[in-house]
Structure 1
């Protein structure tokens, strides 16, 4: 079981990320899931619920409730898919796009305070290692 130290460090890194990231998102009046959806839809054409689910870290069951709450707040809208009436296209409203333009750069700036502590080589190594781990799970 030589992978246990790697697993522990992966989980610890994710937990540290959440402890740093989540309060910033919460201060913006959003949950991390709402932020993920808004960040994914920002500056993008509308997409289906399936596409949105694939591009976010949100499970289908959770996504439905999040979309309903964001729609009720006027942040996103759903329209019938002109190419397939069985699905809907989801996109940000003008209010939602304005919110994205405010919160997304602010949160990236917050995260940059940590990532700028790593040099280019370290970031490249981490990216390569995480991609290798992801690929190992997907095979």
Structure 2
């Protein structure tokens, strides 16, 4: 048995165990390098009622999984001095939001507001932590 076959076998066992202990019917484990896909391992069910298995071509709803990646990237850019978290979002995405979408008439939505992942616009918080600009 090759090393990739051993890894695939172990991952399949973990995936099977995962679907038995968590409320997730199925998914796909993917390993990639810069140039190629090394492994695609679909597991479980795409449709529980129809008992339809997950395939390599199955499309999943992304849900909120991208929030963590966006937040991490934004914080890395801020650390490098490329993004000011207290600057209005329109500094980087012109026309993306209007002043009417904030609850604060004196400031625009800033990056820190977006990082809060709140369900709607809230006032910007300045570096002092005070709301309202």
Q: TM-score, normalised by structure 1?
A: 0.25
Q: Give the structure, 1 or 2, with the largest relative contact order (CA under 8 Å, sep 6 or more).
A: 1
TM-score, normalised by the number of residues in structure 2: 0.26
More helix by share: 1
**Bigger Rg, structure 1 or 2:** 2
